[in-house]
Amino acid sequence: MYDPRSLKAQEFISHEEILATLAYARKNKENEELLQQIIDKARERRGLSHREAAVLLACEMEEKNQQIYALAEQIKKDFYGNRIVMFAPLYLSNYCINSCVYCPYHIKNRHIARKKLTQEEIRREVIALQDMGHKRLALELGEDPVHNPIEYVLESMKTIYSIHHKNGDIRRVNVNIAATTVENYRRLKEAGIGTYILFQETYHKESYERLHPAGPKHDYTYHTEAMDRAMEGGIDDVGLGVLFGLELYEYEFVGLLMHAEHLEAVHGVGPHTISVPRIRHADDIDADAFDNGIDDDTFAKIVACIRIAVPYTGMIVSTRENPKCRERLLHLGVSQISGGSRTSVGGYAEPEAEEETSAQFDVSDNRTLDEVVNWLMRLGYIPSFCTACYREGRTGDRFMSLCKSGQIQNCCHPNALMTLKEYLLDYASEDTRKIGEELIRREIEHVPRERTKEIAKQNLLAIEKGKRDFRF
């Protein structure tokens, strides 16, 4: 029985409800009156139910689809402006005891190079990331209680936060590790975690168990209920995601929205972020072996419908996608992207030898961070290195209330400009600096509150004189 308030995985992610929703969507995909009612409701900026959103996703009427795309772009602007948050993944270890059939880290892969960074190696990688200009990291590890115990993660976070190199600091550390206990989530919270990220991979229980034939990740229930344990442990910013291509995309879309509804219903706050990775080729993994892949048009529709259904959430697209695809998705709802990424263990301080690859997947956007920043600004976006909300305690429901009220523009917009100014002065190429300075001069005038605007202008001048880390 479907119950979004239940703490049981198979009740808040109900297989029967998903099938009923998909049948309803198929039945109404050309119901012009209903489609318009749903679009009109979406214009209120309060989101949609999973069933309403499924109807929009199924819609094949060109006129209505154009309305959907235009609305998604406008909602993205209303909640997040033209800011794009920058981050980089840092893979600490690829030791793993699971048997996930889509991941090269699976335990039976005997020819991938197994690596684990020491604390000194982490230090070198972080300095290299700081020298690029990054302020926000996402830590990635395989599941292995011997090689990658929670103590290793905690020690690594402590190391990262302790490194102050020139004007560089990592100001927010997000963590993507396997489902764990309430106590371990509590320890991550105490260590200063930003967002806890865990992809479901697939919400289809039967497929999930087939794709995870052995190892602790095989337990669908324990994995699916992880976010509830994380929030019980005090982590109020959590990030959801599925790996599109493993199962029918319509099924995953509905399951993802049901999970977001569940978090909102039980904890009063939905997902801080939603990621939308597509399966990619990797060592020992042939993406073509999975027959549920989606084309770029379908992918764009999914992103647009998620943005409409969950307007407050941050949306992430990684370097799995090529620049052309990433540009398209920026218009339709994406608010965070990685830049200059490595999917190998380490790889920032010193490029990995080709014969010793430890990469989790092939990267489709190989541009440097500076090239990505330059590209974003030429498109009219503000690359943001801001971590102010996290450090000011504006997380969970406090961030969501700020976002939903529209007040986010009075702090996030100037914060983005000030962190961009830091990047331009400390790390940018001459061309990027020139474009960025003009963008800041233009965008600072768009800060709504006059007093905030004046303080921001003063702070920008202070940054030019060598001061750092201003925030609202």
Write the DSSP symbol of residue 285: B
Looking at residue 352, what is its pLDDT? Answer: 76
**Is residue 236, in this structure, part of any structural domain at all?**
yes
262 HSE (CA, 13 A, CB side): 26
Does 213 share its domain with 96? yes
Does 250 share its domain with 104? yes
Q: Residue 88: beta bridge partners? A: 137
**Is residue 274, in this structure, part of any structural domain at all?**
yes
Q: What is the CATH number of the domain that holds 279?
A: 3.20.20.70
Does 251 share its domain with 292? yes
Residue at a domain's end among 45, 60, 76 = 76
**Is residue 436, in this structure, part of any structural domain at all?**
yes
Does 299 share its domain with 191? yes
Does 128 share its domain with 16? no
72 HSE (CA, 13 A, CB side): 29
Range of the domain at 53: 10-76
Does 415 share its domain with 317? no
Residue at a domain's end among 48, 76, 104 = 76
**Is residue 317, in this structure, part of any structural domain at all?**
yes
Does 130 share its domain with 216? yes
Residue at a domain's end among 299, 331, 366 = 366
**396 near 341, Cβ under 8 Å?**
no
pTM: 0.94
What is the number of residues in the chain? 472
What tokens does 95 get?
Answer: 């030791």
**305 near 35, Cβ under 8 Å?**
no
Distance from C-alpha of 124 to C-alpha of 36, rounded to nearest angstrom:
54
What tokens does 58 get?
Answer: 């199924």
**Is residue 245, in this structure, part of any structural domain at all?**
yes
CA dihedral 412, 413, 414, 415 (to 10 degrees): 40
Alpha-carbon Rg for the chain, nearest whole angstrom, is 21
Looking at residue 291, what is its pLDDT? Answer: 67
CA dihedral 55, 57, 62, 67 (to 10 degrees): 90
**Is residue 383, in this structure, part of any structural domain at all?**
no
Does 426 share its domain with 277? no
Residue tagged 């109404």 (tokens):
28
Distance from C-alpha of 467 to C-alpha of 59, rounded to nearest angstrom:
52
The DSSP string of 168-208 is EE--EEEEE-----HHHHHHHHHTTEEEEE---B-S-HHHH
Distance from C-alpha of 24 to C-alpha of 470, rounded to nearest angstrom:
50
What tokens does 287 get?
Answer: 């993406």
| Tens-level pLDDT at each residue, the chain (472 residues) | 899 999 999 999 999 999 999 999 999 999 999 999 999 999 999 999 999 999 999 999 999 999 999 999 999 999 999 999 999 999 999 999 999 998 888 888 878 889 999 999 999 999 999 999 999 999 999 999 999 999 999 999 999 999 999 999 999 999 999 999 999 999 999 999 999 999 999 999 999 999 999 999 999 999 999 999 999 999 999 999 999 999 999 999 999 999 999 999 999 999 999 999 998 765 655 666 666 789 999 999 999 999 999 999 999 999 989 999 999 999 999 999 999 999 889 999 998 777 667 667 678 899 999 999 999 999 999 999 999 887 888 887 777 777 777 677 778 999 999 999 999 999 999 999 999 999 999 999 999 899 999 999 999 999 999 999 988 8
**Is residue 374, in this structure, part of any structural domain at all?**
no
Does 46 share its domain with 98? no
Does 55 share its domain with 201? no
**217 near 194, Cβ under 8 Å?**
no
Does 155 share its domain with 274? yes
How many domains does one find in the chain?
A: 3
**Is residue 457, in this structure, part of any structural domain at all?**
yes
Does 48 share its domain with 118? no
**208 near 99, Cβ under 8 Å?**
no
